[in-house]
Structure 1
Amino acid sequence: MPRFAANLSMMYQEHDFLDRFAAAAQDGFRGVEFLFPYAFAAHEIAARLQGAGLSQVLFNAPPGDFEAGERGIAALPGREEEFRSGFARALAYAEALQCPRLHVMAGLVAPDADRARMHDSYCANLSWAAAQAHAAGRTVLIEPINGRDMPGYFLQRQDQAHAIVEAVGSPGLAVQMDLYHCQIVEGDLETKLRRYLPTGRVGHIQIAGVPARHEPDTGELNYPHLFGVLDALGYAGWVGCEYRPAAGTREGLGWFRTAQRRSTSHKVSSSMAHALCALHAVHTFPEM
C-alpha cells in the first residue's frame, strides 16, 4: 500500500495552518505537502514538522502573483530573473524543511501567446532549475493540470510533460502525476500508470475523487484498484492527498483508515509467510 501524505493546503482547514501538522500526525499521516510556505518563516514550519514527526514531501516554488490569478511563470518569456529569484527562495525553504521535491508551475497561456516561444522559455527555465535542484539533492516536478479547474494552463497532458522531461534531459526533473487531473483530461489511468511509472520519470503522485475533488472513495475512480497497480509496479514514492474534504477532514478519512488496515494486514501476512519459509528450511525431513 502506498505512503500517503496529507495536503495541508486543502485538508485540515478546520485548524490554523501551523496547527494542521499535529492534526495530520494524530490521524496517522507520516508525510505532508502543501502549496506555498512563504507566508511563514521556514524555521516555524520546520519546528511543526519535527514536533509532529512528519516528513515534508513536496511544496511549490513561487508562482508569480497568485492572488492576482497567476499560476506560475516558468513558461512566461521575459520573467526569467523573477523565476530564478523565486526558485532560489524555494530551494532555501527546501533545505530548511528537508523537502526533496519542488513543484514548478508553468503559467497560463494568454490569447495572443506564442506557444512555441513559451515552450522554449519553459524548457530553458526547467533546465536551469533542475541543475540547481540536483546539485542540492532535490528534484523539480512539473504537473499537468486540467483546463476545467485551471483554464488556459500551459501543461495539461501526461505525454506533453514526459516529452518536456525527456527534452530537458536532467536527472533533477520529473513529472508530478495527479490522477485527478489525468482522469479529467485523459482517463485510462491504469494504462497511463503502466506506461509511465516504468520510465522512472514519475517523481510524485497525487489523488482526489473525480469529479468533485473530494475524498478518493467518492466519485468515479476505483482507487483501491489503482493502489494495487502502484504496488504491482513497485512505486515506492509518496501519494499526496490533494483533495477538499466534503464535510470535515477527520470525518472523511474512512478510506485512509481502510488503507492502513490493509497495509497492516499485508505486512502481517508477509511476516508469517517468511516465518513459515524459515521454519520449513530448518526442519528438513529425510527421504522415505
Structure 2
Amino acid sequence: MPRFAANLSMLFNDVPFLERFGRAAAAGFKGVEYLFPYEYAPAELAERLQTHGLAQVLFNLPPGDFAAGERGLAALPGRESEFRESVDRAIEYARALGCPRLHAMAGLVTDESQRPRMRETYLENLRYSARRLAEHGLTLLIEPINTRSIPGYFINRQAEAHAILAELGEPNLRVQLDFFHAQIMEGDLTATFKRFQAGVGHIQIAGVPDRHEPDTGEVNYPYLFRLLDEAGYDGWIGCEYNPRGLTEDGLGWFVPWR
C-alpha cells in the first residue's frame, strides 16, 4: 500500500502553516513534507509532528532568495560558500525533525553559455552535500523540474538526473520522481519509473496539466499506485498539488488508499 505525505506548502492552505499539521493528520495522512521549514524553530515544528503523530519525510535546503525568484543554489558558480552553509542549516533541522531526506534545488540558468560551468559546480556541490548528509545517515535528493512550471531550471529530465547519480556514485544520492514534472517533459511514466526505479528516492504527484488533485487530468494515478506496489516501492508519495477548493473536499481520490 502506498504511503502518502501531505505537502503542507500547498495543501490545507486556507489556514496558517502551523495549523496544517493537525488538518493533515485528521484527514488520514501519516507523513508530511513542505518546501522550507526555516521560518520556524525546529522545536516548534517537532512539537507539531509529535502532537499529531506525523512523520517528516522531506523538505528542501535553503534555496537562496526565494522571494526574489531564486530557485536553489547547488548549480550556481560563486555561491559555493552560501550553499555549504545551507547544507549545515538543513542538517540541523533534519536531525531535530527526524527527517531522513533533503532536496537540494539546483537553481536557474540565466546564461546558456555558463551551463558547462554550472554543471561542474552542481556536481561538486552534490558530492560535498551528499557526503555531509551521509555523516548523519541522511539521503540527498535532486529533482528534474519541468520548464513550464520553472522556466530555466537547471535540470529537467529524469535521464539527466540519473546520469548524475551514476557519475557521482554517492550511495546516499537519489532522484525525486515527480510524475507531474515527468509527464510534462517526457511522458511514458510506466517505462520511466521501471527504467530508473533503483535510483528513485521519493515520488510526488499532481494532476496534469493543471496541478490539481491527482484524480483530474491525463494521468491514471490508480494504475501508477498499483504499479508502485507491484514494483515494491516502499518510499513515500508526496501530494504536491494545488487543491481546487478546500483540501478535504478534494480527497476522494485518497479514500481507497488511506
With the shorter chain as reference, the TM-score category is: over 0.9
CA distance in 2, matches of 1:159, 1:112: 20
CA distance in 2, matches of 1:113, 1:47: 47
Unmatched 5+ residue regions in structure 2? none
Residue of 208, 219, 222 corresponding to 2:220: 222
Residue of 243, 248, 251 corresponding to 1:250: 248
CA distance in 1, matches of 2:72, 2:109: 11
Residue 14 of structure 1 pairs with residue 14 of structure 2: yes
SS in 2 for 1:114: helix
Task: Give deviations 1:210-268, integer Å, cap 9, x for gaps.
Answer: 000000000000000001110111000000000000011000000001223xxxxxxxx
Unmatched 5+ residue regions in structure 1? 261-288
SS in 1 for 2:4: strand
Deviation of residue 36 (structure 1)? Answer: 0.3
Give the structure 2 partner of residue 159 of structure 1: 159
CA distance in 1, matches of 2:156, 2:234: 25
Scaled by the length of structure 1, what TM-score is found?
Answer: 0.89
Residue 207 of structure 1 pairs with residue 205 of structure 2: yes
Task: Give deviations 1:14-48, integer Å, cap 9, x for gaps.
Answer: 11101100110001000000000000101000000
Give the structure 2 partner of residue 237 of structure 1: 235
**Residue type of the partner of 2:95?**
E
Scaled by the length of structure 2, what TM-score is found?
Answer: 0.99
Give the structure 2 partner of residue 107 of structure 1: 107
**Residue type of the partner of 1:215?**
E
* Pair 203,112 (structure 1): closer, same or farther in 2 beyond 3 Å: closer
Q: Structure 1 runs of 4+ off > 4 angstroms?
A: none
Point out the structure with max Rg over C-alpha: 1
Residue 192 of structure 1 pairs with residue 192 of structure 2: yes
How large is the RMSD of aligned CA atoms in angstroms? 0.7
- Where does 1:84-163 land on structure 2 (aligned, <5 Å)? 84-163=84-163
CA distance in 2, matches of 1:10, 1:17: 10
Matched residues, percent identical?
A: 60
* Pair 247,123 (structure 1): closer, same or farther in 2 beyond 3 Å: same
